[in-house]
Amino acid sequence: MSTFKNFFKVKNIEEVLSLESLFPQLGTEEIPLLNASGRVLASDIISDADLPGFDRSTMDGFAVVASSTFGASDGSPAFLNIKGTVPMGEEPDFSIRPGEAARMPTGGMLPEGADSVIMIELTEAIDDDSIEIYKSVAPGNDIIKRGEDYKAGDTIISAGCRLRPQDVGLLAAFGQDPVSVFKQPVVGIISTGDEIVPVNKNPGSAEVRDTNTYSLAGFVKDAGAIPVTFGIAKDNFDELLKMCSKAIEETDMVILSGGSSVGTRDFTIEVLSSLPESEILVHGISISPGKPTILAKTRGKAVWGLPGHVVSSMIVFKVIVRPFIEHIGGVSLTNRKQQWTKAKMTRNISSAQGRIDCIRVKLSRTNRTLFAEPVLGKSGLINTMVKADGIVMVDINSEGIEEGAEVDVIQI
């Protein structure tokens, strides 16, 4: 079956990323709002009321008609009669007119007639019923007007937003509990290779423990999805086929890793091609490390064959697999946020043209400048990813990056 490799031309990253639209979004579910941080909103939320629902004081002080204070100063204070005290959380049972004031707690509702608040520090009590005011205030001073935060009918958050804590707070303000969100993608993880042993086993002299299952599970979780591990498949057609079938049955996406050698790569392709309703979409991507990546569409689900080298599998996940997880999980394009930062390269890096080179970098801060120091090393060495804080992608047409150049760093 080694002829498979001839059917495919290496694709560039953009071509691969554009294939996400071939995979359908997951369904939605209702969850308690308290658990909604990090989840993806399923539909636009329209406000059903003004927020706040009333003119509200932002200071301790006195509600007044602003015009009563015009011209007031230390030398010529305005004199106002206290009409009453506004209790927290209750509608005042009185109104005020020019020349009158009401005692006002922060957050309280302004009485009818008042258009502003003067903070207590700018006033002096004459007796229990009257105050002097030493400064003039403008209408709207130290209050939040009804509807100033949101107006009834506003779209407050759009579908496809990955909810941050402040977004959840906003949904709380509008009573959106429970809230409808996209289901979290369930992602199956399979390691392959005759040399791979489980973590709790002592490797024989030519064996290594399974690391990819553990690092990929963490990255899947970071992408807002739920990892499900299926263990290690030996390089055996029937075993891998069986494990893949089970994983595709039970999850929304499957990630195989391993099989980086030419022989086992063909073997992964062979298994993916033998699955029912399966089509190979990608066989090779112009990225380094990570070129021998495979993407199949099987029963409508994405099945990935990632390289076995520890660094390659992580980089391909971060740069290519993660957007597909976000897509099926409902995250809209404007809400796809890798954590980026800007940094200056500490030295020259050369790069081959015709592919995207993913350089691992360690970030360090000197005074107010962030520097990216390349972490060089083979893509089989996990220490390079442990030392690194980020990835810098060198453009496909670039011969490299010069020392001191400002670069975009994907934080890892």
87 binds a second copy (CB under 8 A): yes
195 binds a second copy (CB under 8 A): yes
Which residues in the 319-358 window bind a second copy by CB under 8 A? 339-343
**Only segment of 73-81, 122-130, 188-196, 280-288 that touches a second copy (CB under 8 A):** 188-196
Pick from 137, 157, 255, 319 the residue near a second copy by CB under 8 A. Answer: 157
In whole angstroms, the minimum distance from the beta carbon of 178 to a second copy comes to 10
In whole angstroms, the minimum distance from the beta carbon of 139 to a second copy comes to 15
Cβ-based nearer residue to a second copy, 265 or 301: 265
38 binds a second copy (CB under 8 A): yes
Cβ-based nearer residue to a second copy, 135 or 145: 145
Cβ-based nearer residue to a second copy, 21 or 334: 334
44 binds a second copy (CB under 8 A): no
**Only segment of 9-17, 245-253, 277-285, 378-386 that touches a second copy (CB under 8 A):** 378-386
**Only segment of 101-109, 123-131, 244-252, 269-277 that touches a second copy (CB under 8 A):** 101-109
Which residues in the 257-316 window bind a second copy by CB under 8 A? 260-264, 308-310, 314
Which residues in the 132-151 window bind a second copy by CB under 8 A? 144, 148-150
Cβ-based nearer residue to a second copy, 112 or 238: 112
Cβ-based nearer residue to a second copy, 103 or 246: 103
Pick from 1, 54, 79, 138 the residue near a second copy by CB under 8 A. Answer: 54
**SS3 track for the chain:** CHHHHHHCCCECHHHHHHHHHHCCCCCEEEECHHHCCCCEECCCEECCCCECCCCEECCCEEEECHHHHCCCCCCCCEEEEEEEECCCCCCCCCECCCCEEEEECCCCECCECCCEEEEHHHEEEEECCEEEECCCCCCCCCEECCCCCECCCCEEECCCCECCHHHHHHHHHCCCCCEEEECCCEEEEEEECCCEECCCCCCCCCCEECCHHHHHHHHHHHCCCEEEEEEEECCCHHHHHHHHHHHHHHCCEEEEECCCCHHHHHHHHHHHHHCCCEEEEEECECEECCCCCEEEEECCEEEEEECCCHHHHHHHHHHHHHHHHHHHCCCCHHHCCCCEEEEEECCCEECCCCCEEEEEEEEEEECCEEEEEECCCCCCCCHHHHHCCEEEEECCCCCEECCCCEEEEEEC
Pick from 208, 226, 281, 352 the residue near a second copy by CB under 8 A. Answer: 208
34 binds a second copy (CB under 8 A): yes
